[in-house]
Amino acid sequence: MAIPKWLYDHDDVKNGPAWRRWTIYAGFAILPLALLFLILVPRDGPEGGIVFGDDSSSRAFNDTCDDPRFTGPAAGRMLSASDMGRDASDCQRLYRVAEGLRGRFRGPSVRYNALFNEPATQADLDYGDDSGPNAGDGQCDDMRFATSDMIVMRMDSAIGGDASDCRTAVAEGRAQWVGDPVGRSDLVGQPAQPGPIQFDLQQELADRQAAETGKPNGKPK
């Protein structure tokens, strides 16, 4: 970048000490590179305290976000609770596109589903509606709740879509609001109140791994 003539001819610069001139020269030389860096290089930014997890899902690195906590054009289809927190690289990259954290580049992206946000009080809990495919079956299929119901697989279509069942299950002590469990060590071994539920995050992750690998006592990666 050329130094403006008015600055170059200024008495304080032209007749001043050499270090002053060289400082100005260096600044004008570095400025274009700094601007280029800000435009082109992906950069970290505030991400709302989201814990993206790891890449242990079998669907990781497929250029779609297969974590059911995220929604948007770049989100995968038919997502299950077993992939929660297990597609970190894809989801973090696509989330940064939505948040404008990848410079001037744009494309398909995802956003964090606000239904997973922690409510200020129990009264503020958003159960959603009964639009889910298994609504009304007497079981809480919404993966935002830990439950003692025997459910084979929890899908993203039930997030905020099984309100009546989940509200009843919570009232009867069969379910407890968990929200986003990824990275929350405070959930391990904490029983629901009231009721016999005990949500153990580490054991659940191990069970998921065992189910995918077909080996007993699987451990999360």
Residue extents of the structural domains in the chain:
5-40, 43-112, 122-213
Tens-digit pLDDT profile for residues 66-113: 999 999 999 999 999 989 999 999 999 999 887 765 544 567 899 999
Q: Residue 128 region, left (φ>0) first, then alpha (ψ -120 to 50), else beta?
A: left
Residues 156, 134 contacting (CB under 8 angstroms): no
* CA 215 to each of CA 76, 191, 211: distance values in angstroms, whole numbers, following the listed order: 26, 27, 7
Query: Could you give the CA distance from residue 207 to residue 205 in angstroms, rounded to a whole number?
Result: 5
| 49-62 mean pLDDT | 92
pTM: 0.64
Residue 1: burial class (beta carbons within 10 Å; 0-12, 13-18, 19+): exposed
Q: What is the mean pLDDT of the chain?
A: 77
* CA 84 to each of CA 23, 78, 106, 135, 160: distance values in angstroms, whole numbers, following the listed order: 51, 13, 25, 22, 16
